[in-house]
């Protein structure tokens, strides 16, 4: 899904929410939650779009209709060591898409 398709889906009310996935190295991926499943945001060449900050995410989505957005951060230590019992779930934090000046 590219940015134009994401905007059209958000305008049509098909986007249930957005997930900004934090990766090691300071990159973020943006994925849309649709009824059909998760769709990663891709550039014009079809490659997964790597964003540098939540500010860049806000700037990219500023003209889009507002939908719920969460920052997703996995706990790498728990995934590598498996020290916790039970399922390991990522940290999910609400993320405002409003510009902050």
Write the DSSP string, 10-29: HHTT-EEEEEEEEETTTEEE
Q: What's this model's pTM, rounded to 2 decimal places?
A: 0.81
Q: Which domains does the chain have, with CATH numbers?
A: 3-94 (3.30.720)
Instruction: Classify the phi-psi angles of 36: left when phi > 0, otherwise alpha if psi is within -120 to 50, otherwise beta.
Output: alpha
User: Given pLDDT bands bounded at 50, 70 and 90, which one contains residue 91?
Assistant: confident
97 or 82, which is more confident: 97
Task: List, in sequence order, every residue forming a beta bridge with 48; answer none if it has no partner.
Answer: 42
Residues 69/92, Cβ–Cβ less than 8 Å: no
Residues 33/15, Cβ–Cβ less than 8 Å: yes
24-71 pLDDT, tens per residue?
888 999 999 999 999 999 999 999 999 999 999 999 999 899 899 999
Only one residue has tokens 């945001």, namely: 41
């Amino acid at each position: 899904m590219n940015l134009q398709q994401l905007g059209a889906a958000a305008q049509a009310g098909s986007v249930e929410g957005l997930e900004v996935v934090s990766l090691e190295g300071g990159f973020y991926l943006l994925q849309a939650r649709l009824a059909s499943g998760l769709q990663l945001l891709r550039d014009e060449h079809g490659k997964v779009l790597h964003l540098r900050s939540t500010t860049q995410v806000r700037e990219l989505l500023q003209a889009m209709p507002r939908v719920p957005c969460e920052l997703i951060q996995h706990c790498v230590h728990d995934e590598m060591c498996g020290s916790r019992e039970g399922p390991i779930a990522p940290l999910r934090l609400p993320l405002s898409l409003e510009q902050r000046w």
